[in-house]
Chains A and B, each alone.
Chain A
Amino acid sequence: MNLKLVAKRLIFLVVVIWAASTIVFFIPRLSGRNALRERFGELARTGGFSPADLEKIIASMQQQFGLDRPLYEQYWTYLGNILRLDFGYSLYRYPTTVTELIAQSLPWTIGLLLVTTILAFVIGNLLGAVAAWPRAPGWMRGIATPFILLTGVPPVIMGILLLFFVGFRWKLLPLGGAYSVGTVPTFSIGFILDLLKHQILPGLALVLGSVGGWVLSMRGMGVTIQGEDYVNFAEHKGLTGGRIFRDYYLRNAMLPQITGLALALGSVVTSAIIVEGLFGLPGIGTMLNLAIRSNDFPTIYGIVLFITIAVAVLMTAVEFLYPLLDPRVRNS
């Protein structure tokens, strides 16, 4: 890949991040709500301090957050802060910063996402490839069908159904949470097993909810590749079915799927955080859920921006990796 293309992609990445940040900066200001006033108004009702004090507190907080300065100045500072991944303070858990909150919950989300995405991608693509492979035995091709039917079921609903049957009816797995109530996080085998047990249902919900999409797109890819000359050539060379499947068919059908993975990242991440909220895992999703419930605007915006930046960076990374996998792209 030449330098000019790399530079172009990087500039595009910056533009995407800038656009997202700008949308997130201006939308709340268009709505005309004052998050600080709402938050402290709430506190004043329960805490019982006088309206005059309240005004003073709000004024000093606005000064601290820089909300008393002109809009363009705020926007400029804001863009600078975004570059340093500084998303300001959480209103609800002041003085914790949003960045700290994200850092605390990030490992949970990354763990869940990484495992489920890889599993769904591998299983889905294999099933899809087999489904479109004319030489595969009938029963093998049939396996894919139930998974395709699952494409209409969003991961959240899959989670609810799993909670209902596995957790509630059959009582096989816990109904949510990160680990059993009353246990203390330690590095013992018992605790780790307990931890894993709580990850099975959300993980399963995400895998089952997204595997069908991969099956479908891979089957579509597989059908178009069968007519290609190189597959015919391999067949006439007398290579074994398994060899053709692996090296000629699967390998070439896989490449567009990797681009698909980059494109799907946004929706995968969104599904993951919503499923996380459903199961009450201590990841970014639960953080977002709590922030929405408590009108903690800086946290909502911070989480959204952070995920957007992460997705954009990952997509660019996949595009840079692509030539390593596909010699056709490398040479052109």
Chain B
Amino acid sequence: MSTVALSPPAAETKVERPGKLVLFLRYLRRNKGLAIGVLILLCLVAFTVIGLLTINPKHAYPLSVAAKKPPSLKYPFGTDFFGRDLYAAMVVGMWQTAAIGLLAGGIGTLIGVVLGFMSAYFGSWTDATIRTICQVLTPIPVLLIQVVIAGSLDKRDVTILTMAFIVVLLAWMGPTLVIRSQVLTMKERQFVSVAKLSGVSDMGIIFKEILPNLLPFIAAAFVAQVFAAVFAAFYLAVLGLGPLREPLLGNIIWAAQSQGAFFNGWWWWPIIPSIAMILILGSLALINMGLDELANPRVRRTE
């Protein structure tokens, strides 16, 4: 306050509110985890986009190039037992991982937001039903039920889309409970009561008053969902339940494992998709933590 009083009035007119992007960049400087996570993610996106423009996508599939070649100038990541160029496979695999993650994460968050709102807003039996279902499903190890679903399908029917679908089926409980608890606390705040008294409709309150305030939580829930979806799809694929022909990262590791890659000295085959997976999951984990800090200031570190 004192600085404002000290500055001449002429300067005050020049002060502009910095744009949202500038504010976000400034925030990133304080929230280092989020910054590093976003940076890695941007690099991965760049890798995939540039890759998709330069590779021959056919080389990501079996019998397209010379087999079992270690990394070289021609094949920067080497080729595998089945004659896939692992560089092409990484590009296509990352793209597929992103597709599964965004699709499953998006749908899961959407279901979570709708159910969470219904649960918190309508209360009574709607709330009781949704809450009970979530509570009953939570102790069940979701990944194992996904194993049952994926295992019951004919291997030829499993595609990237079905993977996303399998993940979504059991992945909406988390966001539902998070959104529900947040809406519950918001409902009691004064600005909502004021809006209600001044005759704003239920929908108006939801979309104009509550939803904008929930955006950080929804963003955090979305990233958590994408993380969970990528993780689940990876685990299913590592177990040999993915679309076997596709160069999904987990599938490549599964194939390398089945062919005894380390025993035979083809070390690059499982290592390259592993590193790619670490980068993907690591960046998502960092972003998730960073957003949590943004949404719950209580977690913010005391400097």
Query: Taking beta carbons and an 8 Å cutoff, which residues of A are in contact with B?
Result: 12, 15-16, 19-20, 23-24, 27-28, 30-31, 33, 134, 149, 151-154, 156-157, 160-161, 163-164, 167-169, 175, 216, 220, 223-224, 226, 263, 266-267, 269-270, 274, 277-278, 288-289, 292-293, 297, 300-301, 304, 307-308, 311-312, 315
Contacts and interface: CB of A to CB of B under 8 A. Distances in A.
Contact of B145 (A24, A152, A224, A312): A24
Interface in B127-152: 135-145, 147-149, 151-152
Nearest to A304: B144
B122 interface: no
B139 A312 contact: yes
A152 B140 contact: no
A270 B145 contact: no
Nearest to A152: B282
A223 B299 CA distance: 7
Contact of B148 (A28, A151, A216, A311): A28
Contact of A304 (B147, B240, B277, B289): B147
Interface residues of B, number: 46
A216 B136 CA distance: 27
B262 A175 contact: yes
A153 B283 CA distance: 10
A154 B263 contact: no
Interface stretch (B16-24, B64-72, B83-91, B231-239): B231-239
A274 B148 contact: no
A308 B144 contact: yes
Interface secondary structure of B, over-half rule: helix
Contacts of B135: 12
B179 to A, nearest CB: 19
Interface of B: 135-145, 147-149, 151-154, 231, 234-235, 238-241, 253, 257, 262-263, 267, 270-271, 274, 277-278, 281-286, 289, 298-299, 301-302
Given A24-B148, A152-B283, A301-B148, 18 more contacts: A12-B135, A134-B302, A149-B282, A152-B284, A153-B281, A154-B277, A157-B278, A164-B271, A169-B267, A175-B263, A223-B302, A266-B140, A274-B238, A292-B151, A293-B240, A304-B144, A311-B140, A311-B141
10 residue pairs, one from A and one from B, having the closest CB atoms: A152-B282, A266-B141, A152-B285, A31-B152, A304-B144, A28-B152, A270-B143, A152-B281, A157-B274, A168-B262
26 contacts: A16-B139, A23-B145, A27-B152, A31-B153, A33-B152, A33-B154, A152-B284, A152-B286, A153-B281, A154-B277, A157-B277, A160-B271, A168-B267, A223-B298, A266-B139, A267-B141, A267-B143, A269-B141, A277-B239, A289-B239, A292-B240, A293-B240, A300-B148, A300-B151, A301-B148, A308-B141
